[in-house]
Amino acid sequence: MDRDAENKKKMISKHVQVDFKDDLPDGEVVFDIKHEMYWQELAESKRVELEHTLEENERLCKLREKLINENILYQKLLEEVDSFVEVLKDMIQDSPDNTGIDVRDVSDSNDE
């Protein structure tokens, strides 16, 4: 009896490799082809998206470069205008009121 119990307790594991392609109906093979086509179409659509993204990126890089150059130009102009304003302020502060109008003259022109 011990022998029967030992034989029952022993488990044997076997691995079998099976190729189902020969046994599958034709519909399953078509599925594999469609599956492959799906991935090809997906890859192509992603390639097109990446191409458009690259073009947009290049356009934005050119625009950025243009804006940087414009910014540099406007900064130089601002510096020139600031220095001009400072010169004008100095001139206004240093010079007496030479407008030709005497503010202290309150004579009425109708008195004549």
Q: Mind listing the pLDDT tens digit for each residue in 41-63? A: 999 999 999 999 999 999 999 99
Determine the length of the chain: 112
Q: Compute the mean pLDDT over every residue in the chain, rounded to the nearest whole number.
A: 79
Q: Is the pLDDT of residue 36 over 90?
A: no
- Euclidean distance between CA atoms 104 and 93, whole angstroms: 20
